[in-house]
Amino acid sequence: MASGPSSGPSSGAGTSSSAGTGSSADTVSTQRTEPECESQEPRGDTESRVAPWGIILPILEGFPSMELVNTEYSFGRDFNCDYTFPKNNSEPQRYKTYSSRHFHIFLNGDPFLQDDSMNGTYMNGKLLSRDDKVVLPNYATIALGEPEHHVLTFCNLMRQDGIKLPEGLRDRYMITKELGTGVFGRVLLAFCVGSLERVAIKMIPKHDLALQEAPTTNVQAEAAILQRLAHPGIIRFLEACDSEEAFFIVLEYAEGGELSQWVKRRKELCEKRSKFVFYQIVLAVHYLNEQGIIHRDLKLQNVLLASMAEEPLVKVTDFGVARIAGDQSVARTLCGTLHYLAPEVLDVGKSKTGYGKAVDCWALGVILFWCLSGCSPFVECPVGTSMAEQIRSRHVAFDAQVWKTISQSARDLVTHLLTVDPSQRCTTQQALEHPWLQDPEMKMKVQQLWED
Ligand code: AMP
Helix extents (H) in 215-357: 217-227, 259-266, 271-290, 328-332, 343-346
Determine the pLDDT at residue 213.
Answer: 53
The torsion defined by the Cα of 225, 218, 366 and 254, in degrees rounded to 10, comes to -60
> Is 146 in a helix, a strand, or coil?
coil
The amino acid present at 301, given as its one-letter code, is: Q
205 within ligand 1 shell (Cβ under 6 A): no
Domain with CATH 2.60.200.20 in the chain: 54-155
Pocket test for ligand 1, best of 21, 23, 29, 179 (most atoms within 8 A of CB): 179
Q: Pick out the chain residues at pLDDT < 50.
A: 1-4, 6-47, 215
253 within ligand 1 shell (Cβ under 6 A): yes
**Nearest CA-CA partner of 13 in 191, 133, 266:** 191
Measured distance CA(223)–CA(217) in Å, rounded? 10
Reading across the β-sheet that carries 257-258, which strands appear in turn? 257-258, 303-305, 314-316
**Nearest CA-CA partner of 170 in 191, 195, 200, 198:** 191
Q: Is 30-43+159-252 in CATH node 3.30.200.20? A: yes
Determine the pLDDT at residue 219.
Answer: 80
Pocket test for ligand 1, best of 175, 187, 249, 315 (most atoms within 8 A of CB): 187
Give 59's contacts (C-beta < 8 A, 6+ positions apart). 24, 27, 28, 31, 141, 150, 151, 152, 153
- Write the burial class of residue 343 (CB in 10 Å: 0-12 exposed, 13-18 middle, 19+ buried): buried
Atom of ligand 1 nearest to the CA of 252: 19
Domain with CATH 1.10.510.10 in the chain: 257-451
Determine the pLDDT at residue 52.
Answer: 85
- Cα 304 to averaged position of ligand 1 atoms, centre (Å): 8
Give 450's contacts (C-beta < 8 A, 6+ positions apart). 232, 313
Beta bridge partners of 67: 55
Closest residue (by CA) to atom 2 of ligand 1?
Answer: 182
Closest residue (by CA) to atom 5 of ligand 1?
Answer: 182
200 within ligand 1 shell (Cβ under 6 A): yes
Determine the pLDDT at residue 18.
Answer: 31
For 234, other C-beta atoms within 10 Å of its C-beta total 24
Cite the beta strand spans of 41-170 per DSSP E. Answer: 54-58, 66-68, 72-76, 83-84, 103-108, 110-115, 121-123, 126-127, 133-135, 141-144, 150-156
Determine the pLDDT at residue 162.
Answer: 61
Domain with CATH 3.30.200.20 in the chain: 30-43+159-252
Atom of ligand 1 nearest to the CA of 235: 19
For 404, other C-beta atoms within 10 Å of its C-beta total 8
Assess contact for 106 and 71: CB atoms under 8 A.
yes
For 87, other C-beta atoms within 10 Å of its C-beta total 11
Atom of ligand 1 nearest to the CA of 317: 3
Give 222's contacts (C-beta < 8 A, 6+ positions apart). 249, 319, 320, 322
179 within ligand 1 shell (Cβ under 6 A): yes
- Write the burial class of residue 439 (CB in 10 Å: 0-12 exposed, 13-18 middle, 19+ buried): middle
Q: Considering the domain 257-451 in this protein, what is its CATH number?
A: 1.10.510.10
Determine the pLDDT at residue 335.
Answer: 65
Atom of ligand 1 nearest to the CA of 254: 20
Determine the pLDDT at residue 27.
Answer: 25
Atom of ligand 1 nearest to the CA of 184: 2
pLDDT digits (tens, 9 = 90+) for 260-288: 998 887 765 689 999 999 999 999 999 99
Determine the pLDDT at residue 43.
Answer: 39
304 within ligand 1 shell (Cβ under 6 A): yes
Assess contact for 10 and 197: CB atoms under 8 A.
yes
Is 161 among the residues known to form the active site? no
Give 352's contacts (C-beta < 8 A, 6+ positions apart). none
Assess contact for 112 and 90: CB atoms under 8 A.
no
Catalytic, out of 115, 297, 318, 360: 297
Q: Considering the domain 54-155 in this protein, what is its CATH number?
A: 2.60.200.20
For 282, other C-beta atoms within 10 Å of its C-beta total 25
Measured distance CA(338)–CA(370) in Å, rounded? 14
DSSP letter, residue 235: P
Measured distance CA(233)–CA(216) in Å, rounded? 27
pLDDT digits (tens, 9 = 90+) for 321-337: 777 766 555 565 666 67
Q: Is the pTM of this model over 0.95?
A: no
- Cα 237 to averaged position of ligand 1 atoms, centre (Å): 13
